[in-house]
Structure 1
């Protein structure tokens, strides 16, 4: 099935509110457990001395889970959507003591403002939004160093329209219409494993592991990444 891009930013207030109100707790916890197994974070206690960047953080679902898991780590959520970050910031201010190490920054990739290295770079459901996927892998390299771990989870594109519709019914059948619409568009905009592997080779990140998970996800991970892109 041919890839059809969707808008890069989820900037409609209704869209952002619907996404923030949806219950992604099960999949978010699964992402957190995968992140917790990264070499840079495994056995790191309360996270003292660690820094984690959440690319495409949206309303902060994963960002706040990271902060709760490692309360002494510096956690930065980055997104290009003002509507999403407004929700994330309200959540942060609702419990400033618990989120004292969390901050959010509005950036649209690619951006020269990204500074590394950090301990871990994570991203959940950003890649399929990008018209040019190279900007994600460029950002990863800007944030990385020899001790940086990476974890990316994203959708993978179904083989055909029938498979796409079946996934929408299975995973978003009871969701609000705006979420069903966006989920369908996201599946169509997602990449195949072969496409992601090719992207990584071009980016000089061919050593990263790419694997299929469940009926709809891709996971990309690795440790000890090449550092900041040459000027």
Structure 2
């Protein structure tokens, strides 16, 4: 999402269904309460998830990281629209993983939505989580999973982005093919020493990873 065209198309697209799913998953896994007030969103994009997070959990402060300045410009607009209730509760970080900007920071809640399939080495995500998480931190990662056939992928494109600009349709198609299968994500977690995390398919195109860091 490095170009202005990509960022604008992504920010203007309707991701309310998948973002609402993400928030429902978070509510389910945080049903006993959040373990603290410091949150980190990895790959925040235009920050719709961060906006929803701050609105839902008024004691939370969230650092939001993304590698594309064009996306962070959209994120700033989104979060500034939150007005006074959001004041002093968010920080945007322009960097890629692994990020030296996070050095020394620890978080009680670490989130990521639709970042994993963009990473050439998925371990940079899992190792960042291990490094930045406080004991008992809650982790929720959601991403696309790779469809079993090209026909399935094309059906998803037609179902969800048929009316979107071509740049978004192309990005979504490429993202589906770049995404990981659930069994591959399980292997990634085992390699990262996060065997206690759970992996599940949560929609016709999404998988989720959730768990608590050891106390």
The answer, yes or no, to whether TM exceeds 0.5 is: yes
TM-score bucket of the superposed structures, by smaller chain = over 0.9
Distance 1:136 1:215 in 2: 23
Aligned equivalent of 1:184 = 173
Match among 175, 194, 198 for residue 164 of structure 2: 175
Q: Which has a greater percent of helix?
A: 2
Aligned equivalent of 1:111 = 99
Structure 2: runs of 5 or more not aligned:
none
Q: 8 Å contact 2:107–2:137 — kept in the other structure?
A: yes
Q: 8 Å contact 2:113–2:142 — kept in the other structure?
A: yes
Work out whether 1:98 is the aligned partner of 2:85.
yes
Aligned equivalent of 2:64 = 77
SS, match of residue 146 in structure 1:
strand
Q: 8 Å contact 1:35–1:122 — kept in the other structure?
A: no
SS, match of residue 136 in structure 2:
coil
Taking structure 1 as the reference length, the TM-score comes to 0.87
CA-to-partner distance for each residue in 1:67-107, whole Å, 9 max, x for gaps? 10112211111111100001111222334313211121111
Structure 1: runs of 5 or more not aligned:
1-9, 227-231
Aligned equivalent of 2:13 = 22
Q: What is the correspondence of 1:1-231 to structure 2 with a 5 Å cutoff?
A: 10-39=1-30, 42-43=32-33, 50-100=37-87, 101-114=89-102, 115-225=104-214
Q: 8 Å contact 2:136–2:212 — kept in the other structure?
A: yes
CA 1:110–1:161: 2 relative to 1, 3 Å: same
Taking structure 2 as the reference length, the TM-score comes to 0.93
Q: 8 Å contact 1:128–1:190 — kept in the other structure?
A: yes
Which is bigger in relative contact order (C-alpha 8 A, separation at least 6)?
Answer: 1
SS, match of residue 183 in structure 1:
helix
Aligned residues: 213
Q: Which has a greater percent of strand?
A: 2
